[in-house]
Structure 1
Amino acid sequence: MATTIDVKPEAPNVVNLEPNEPIANSVFSGSIGGTGEILILPIGENIILGTAVANVNGVAYKYNINNPAHAYALAGIAQTSAVMGQFVVVQPDGLVNVPGWNLTPGAVYHVGSNGALTSSPDLSTGRILQTLGKAINSSTLLLRPDDPVTL
């Protein structure tokens, strides 16, 4: 049986789920690949599954390593894709699974450009170094974010 979620526009909405528990509401349905708490946020731009997300005033954006406002705004990893007018499901920590992610097992991942994950972060002056966690296998990241560092 699916957990039904009443999504309210005055985001964020926080829900606790069991691993791979199906969820359904008027915004999306299906199951997420992670475990534990999730956030459901309205979006300020299109976001794709597996992207690092910043929560800026209750609205989800792709994490931008060039935007100082995102330095302490990491919400987690998008567990759904969303286009304008929709909500995105974000997992703030724990085991995150995205099939087809092609992670290198054992590698440490950071936020790259446009919220993409990278094992080779941009260390240019002025960038935000946001460490996310370690790849368990090619499709699973142990998401344990560190505090960001502005370079």
Structure 2
Amino acid sequence: MDWTYKITLFLHVIFVATWFGGLSMMTIWTRKAMKGNPTQAQKVESLRSIHRVNLTMLIPSSVIALLTGFYLYFSIGLDPTPLWLLVKERFASIAILVYILFFTFFGKSLLKKASADTDQVDAGMKRYAMFLNISTLVLLIIIFFATTKIS
């Protein structure tokens, strides 16, 4: 292994960990924002903050994890490719792209709707929380396959 592979692997692990930890915290934050009896203004502000963190931290982390993952995948060059690596590469790529598209476009439209119509806030936050839960679970499954290296 050369030094570029080792540095890329380090970066990949750091950004996957950042993304996973951030998703977990965002899920907790979203659920907490819905509990109790917050005002609609507080819900909208929480939603804005959650979406801003997603756009500025989690989406860039997921993109860097995707790019470093591609580099690692193509630099290994195993033939035939083991199952764990195929699952990680294919499933993770799709999961990251869906995550980026969903949170970028759905989050933006949800913020517009929430700012204009306060009735949309509760339903939107529940969908946002559900997608965060699903994203965390999918990432956990990918991490499981990557670490156990099931063939």
Larger RCO, structure (CA 8 Å, separation 6 or more):
2
TM-score > 0.5, shorter chain as reference:
no
Please indicate the TM-score interval, normalised by the length of the shorter structure.
Answer: under 0.3
Structure number having the greater helix percentage: 2
Larger Cα-atom Rg: 2
TM-score relative to the length of structure 2: 0.21
TM-score relative to the length of structure 1: 0.21
